[in-house]
Amino acid sequence: MKKIIISCLLVTAFCNAQNISNGTITYIVSQKKDHVEQLKEKAKTSESAQRVLDLYEMAEDVTAILHFTAQEAIYKAQESLKNEADKTIVNFTYPMAGGRTIYYNNTIENINASDVSGEYIRVIQEKQEWQLVNETKQIGKYTCFKAIQTNSNRSKVKPIAWYTLDIPLPFGPKGFNGLPGLILEIEEKVYVFKATKIELNSTDFEPIEQPTKGKKITYAEWRERTKNFFTK
């Protein structure tokens, strides 16, 4: 019976894919409330923790956009008007939402394009590996399934994705990809990406432009270049 149910889901997903020509998803990127609460506890006895807390409390939610077709997708965080008007304000959420990096995916490559120390480069990301979990939740009208990224090196807390087979395309926010359905929510250690608006099959959808500016390098080459800026 379980095999029959899975087969039915896959057939339904395939049929759904045939009916989707393009889409745009708006995500809201925000801090986890429990992270701020933990900082508040540390700040009671630590001045450095209080300074970090002050920065997090000044941070604001960030809007980010994912445009996709059946073959490719592109994601970019939107800069807030407040930060554009006052460059002295540091919004901690913005760089974690993706900052000025352009995240591009197609059926062959997953590329992050950005300015690194004055040089614009395109980094080919490594393939993401996922553990599919038998757990679901509802996001809007979509039933979503849980997956955990097992090869993430960002932190000890592995990213959790919630994807839907109703839109069976392997894309998501901030370059997350490779699942059997579109990712509507990502939970990282400190931040959450939540889809708040989904538009499908728009008649005025503009073609996606793949980033071509700058040198293309592998993820290993990028790690070597930036090894003095972070630790594994």
How far apart CA 79 and CA 137 sit, in angstroms, is 30
What is the per-residue pLDDT for 50?
73
The parent domain of residue 169 ranges over 2-225
Is residue 136 a part of any domain in this protein? yes
Is residue 59 a part of any domain in this protein? yes
Residues 6+ apart with CB under 8 A from 119: 214, 215
Helix axes 47-58, 33-43, angle to 10 degrees: 150
Domain tally, the chain: 1
Residue 196's nearest CA partner among 24, 10, 70, 4 is 24
What is the per-residue pLDDT for 10?
42
What is the per-residue pLDDT for 164?
98
Is residue 20 a part of any domain in this protein? yes
What is the per-residue pLDDT for 154?
66
pLDDT by residue, tens only, the chain of 232 residues: 444 444 444 444 444 555 899 999 999 999 887 766 666 666 667 767 677 667 667 778 999 999 999 999 999 999 865 545 555 567 889 999 999 999 999 989 999 999 877 889 999 999 999 999 999 999 999 999 999 999 877 667 899 999 999 999 999 999 999 999 999 999 998 899 999 999 999 999 999 999 999 999 999 998 888 776 554 4
Is residue 230 a part of any domain in this protein? no
What is the per-residue pLDDT for 7?
42
Is residue 232 a part of any domain in this protein? no
Burial class (CB in 10 A: 0-12, 13-18, 19+), 219: middle
**Which CATH number fits the domain that encloses residue 38?**
2.50.20
